[in-house]
Structure 1
Amino acid sequence: MTSESKTEAAAIREEAPPRPKKRDVHGWVVLDKPVGMTSTHAVSVVKRAFSAKKAGHAGTLDPLASGLLPIALGEATKTVPFVMDGRKAYQFTVAWGSQTDTDDTEGRVIATSETRPDEAAIRALLPRFTGTILQTPPKFSAIKIAGERAYDLARDGEEVALEARPVEIDSLVIVSHDGATTTFEAECGKGTYVRAIARDLGQALGCLGHVAHLRRTRVGPFSVADGVGVETLRESPDEALAALRPVKSALTLIPEIVIHRDAAARIKRGQSALLRGAEAPVALQAAYATCAGTLVATGSVENGEFVPHRVFNL
């Protein structure tokens, strides 16, 4: 580099605004992700908006999908499994008459049909797609096969064979139907693929189908009312700060146990603590402990003792 180039580069560095210093931020941001954004990019947007040191998301949302993507900052990352294991709700539209290799509009068409289903025929099939059912995930999915993601293998042209597995679909109802497309609302458990529902419905109806539109409206304890948009985070620091939810907001679906200071001190050292009081539980598979309103730990209750699994530094 010449002396002139070095001088110019130094001038640019001096003019560029300094990067904000990363800081400890703890809590949840329930991002209302737009279509076209990857989950990884969404995490970067939230992390940058809060200048946070640490962030992670609770369940991938495809780029072609919109809706809720809960993002954990700091100590909230320790509660991610509780959100990921929660029930989810979607609104999605199935376009009839063609099947794609990705089971959505991103893939190439691999089969077509001139048949279009009527609403009565669709409605008659829905009971087969509710409750605990066996579902084969799309080959373009994040499931690992011998350490490789299925979608990477599929993109490389390799044959991907995924086994059917049980999933829980609590409800599947028709919102609207116009002949060419049908819009549904679904509530389901972890591991359910909406794209697979569209694919399997289309095959069962003999008309084929794929997802044309997908929006996630609930994830665990978080609903659309909790969502915040990307532009709000980028343009309004005050509104962004107001959107930051407490770490324990991810834990509202499991019991809270209020403990005293001595018990909190033991738990923070990784030791179990005896729970006192007539109403104290004897056994719980999952619970969280708080002291003076502050989250101390998540864990279980065994023989009347709180056993910490994850301890928080808040």
Structure 2
Amino acid sequence: MSEAPLDAASLPDERQSPSQRPKKRDVHGWVVLDKPVGMTSTHAVAVVKRAFAAKKAGHAGTLDPLASGLLPIALGEATKTVPFVMDGRKAYQFTVSWGSQTETDDTEGKVIATSDARPQEAAILALLPRFTGTILQVPPKYSAIKIAGERAYDLARDGEDVQLEPRPVEIDALRIVSHDGATTTFEAECGKGTYVRAIARDLGLALGCLGHVAHLRRTRVGPFAIADAVAVDRLREGPDQAQAALLPVKAALALIPEIAVSRDGMLRLKRGQSVLLRGRDAPIDSDAVYATSGGVLIATGSVDRGELVPHRVFNL
């Protein structure tokens, strides 16, 4: 995917002296951005980072420039919780344009094949069970997957014949929202690593009419839904509006169990030591939990034979 030009409003003025530029500060939390079409994920992080004058920021899963919707951005200590968001389930609404296949499987690439056929809604419905559950999917050639250390899209742009192996992905649900003959709009719920562009490509091939993604909007990532999202323009309205959009660090952990620990337990976790859990409801084993003390996030970790083992400790 090509990079959209950076918006000058989101970047520091290089003509300012260091003393005139806003001083970077420690900011901890999540901003769930409603990314507009045309903006890269890297650019979106720069916009949020500038709005908060934050020292550290990163996103939880790239969203293509041609796609809109949910892009969770972590600030400060929230970056330690990024994997919990990236590994979560995702939801999309997307429109497939029938009758042509493109080299990128969306509207950005050149058309490489066409068909006069157009699918009936009943034919699409009959095919959907083949595209749900755990399926094998070949990622698009223009994707960020690495081949011998190189991104597939870089190799494809250089004219190389990119061959990607099929890999298992999980598609929990795939539904038709609307169908007008020339296009069909779908809703999809899926796991990490699923390419919506590949769903469109493979549906078109299976139906014998070809297809590519014309519009794509992400509506859920892990614990975050589109109702949590804030527009870029709101962040640019001023510090108060930006601050109102900041969610706590532990918002990313809403889908895993919380364990409250005592002050002594908190001190042990801060030192990287495990804590023996007591009480009737204490878990015996768990792959992922987070610990709080007095409502403050202390650590993420796992429970092994009744002991809470810290993996990441927070300084909040």
Please indicate the TM-score interval, normalised by the length of the shorter structure: over 0.9
CA distance in 2, matches of 1:14, 1:188: 46
* 1:17 CA displacement: 8.6
1:142-291 correspondence to structure 2 within 5 Å = 142-291=144-293
Amino acid at match of 1:231: D
Q: Secondary structure at the match of 2:267?
A: helix
- Residues 30 and 177 of structure 1: is their aligned pair in 2 closer, same or farther, counting only changes over 3 Å? same
Amino acid at match of 1:300: S
CA distance in 2, matches of 1:95, 1:272: 54
- Residues 279 and 16 of structure 1: is their aligned pair in 2 closer, same or farther, counting only changes over 3 Å? closer
Query: Could you tell me which residue of structure 2 aligns to residue 116 of structure 1?
Result: 118
In the superposition, the TM-score normalised over structure 2's length comes to: 0.94
CA distance in 2, matches of 1:276, 1:23: 39
Amino acid at match of 2:189: E
Q: Secondary structure at the match of 2:53?
A: coil
What is the root-mean-square deviation of aligned Cα atoms in Å?
A: 1.3
CA distance in 2, matches of 1:143, 1:309: 28
In the superposition, the TM-score normalised over structure 1's length comes to: 0.95
Q: What residue ranges of structure 1 are gaps of 5+ in the alignment?
A: 1-11
CA distance in 2, matches of 1:83, 1:15: 38
CA distance in 1, matches of 2:99, 2:188: 21
Amino acid at match of 1:153: L
- Residues 195 and 15 of structure 1: is their aligned pair in 2 closer, same or farther, counting only changes over 3 Å? closer
Tell me which of 302, 309, 312 is aligned to 1:310: 312
User: Greater CA radius of gyration, 1 or 2?
Assistant: 1
Q: What residue ranges of structure 2 are gaps of 5+ in the alignment?
A: 1-13
- Residues 282 and 15 of structure 1: is their aligned pair in 2 closer, same or farther, counting only changes over 3 Å? closer
CA distance in 1, matches of 2:313, 2:56: 17
CA deviation map 1:67-110 (0-9, x unaligned) = 00000000000000000000000000000000000000000100
CA distance in 2, matches of 1:254, 1:232: 30
Asked whether 1:46 is paired with 2:48, we answer yes
- Residues 99 and 289 of structure 1: is their aligned pair in 2 closer, same or farther, counting only changes over 3 Å? same
CA distance in 1, matches of 2:206, 2:282: 51
CA distance in 2, matches of 1:227, 1:182: 26
* 1:14 CA displacement: 7.6
Q: Secondary structure at the match of 1:172?
A: strand
CA distance in 1, matches of 2:285, 2:36: 42
Tell me which of 130, 133, 136 is aligned to 1:134: 136
CA distance in 2, matches of 1:177, 1:210: 15
Q: Would you identify which runs of 4 or more consecutive aligned residues in structure 1 move more than 3 Å?
A: 12-17
Percentage of pairs with the same residue: 81
* 1:15 CA displacement: 9.3
CA distance in 1, matches of 2:17, 2:173: 57
Amino acid at match of 2:126: A
Q: Secondary structure at the match of 1:240?
A: helix
- Residues 13 and 40 of structure 1: is their aligned pair in 2 closer, same or farther, counting only changes over 3 Å? closer
Amino acid at match of 1:148: E
Q: Secondary structure at the match of 2:78?
A: helix
CA distance in 1, matches of 2:15, 2:241: 31
Q: Secondary structure at the match of 1:161?
A: coil
CA distance in 2, matches of 1:167, 1:14: 48
Query: Could you tell me which residue of structure 1 aligns to residue 7 of structure 2?
Result: none
Query: Could you tell me which residue of structure 1 aligns to residue 68 of structure 2?
Result: 66
CA distance in 2, matches of 1:304, 1:295: 20
Query: Could you tell me which residue of structure 1 aligns to residue 77 of structure 2?
Result: 75
CA distance in 1, matches of 2:264, 2:92: 44
- Residues 170 and 13 of structure 1: is their aligned pair in 2 closer, same or farther, counting only changes over 3 Å? closer
Amino acid at match of 2:20: P
* 1:44 CA displacement: 0.1
* 1:62 CA displacement: 0.1
* 1:236 CA displacement: 3.4
Query: Could you tell me which residue of structure 2 aligns to residue 293 of structure 1?
Result: 295
